[in-house]
Amino acid sequence: MNNFHIYEEVGRGKYSVVYKGRKKKTIDYVAVKSVEKTRRKKVLNEVRIFHNLKNRHVLKFYNWYETRNHLWIIFEYCAGGDLFQLIEQEKKV
């Protein structure tokens, strides 16, 4: 994870936190998902699924890392919130 700058939290789930990040020496932002290490089996399954998905409507998976206390998944960053927030905004219009 030394290759990334981690910025503000952009989302949170029961077992994970998603941060806005940036690969060092680039201007490209990414989503950095931090997951409790106890969820290793679930994370590896998620990585396996996203690694094989190639579709313009699905977030790009870049890589994953393991540190002493966490598993980190690097995804394409999408500004504007999550899908649920976008759906809720459309309902109000």
Kindly report the number of other CB atoms within 10 A of residue 57's CB atom: 5
CA angle at 75 for the pair 38 and 6, rounded to the nearest 5°: 80
Q: Is 33 marked as a binding-site residue?
A: yes
Structure tokens at 23: 């690969």
List, in order, residues 6 or more apart from 5 with CB less than 8 Å away.
21, 22, 24
Q: Which residues are annotated as a binding site?
A: 33
Q: Which residues are annotated as a binding site for ATP?
A: 33
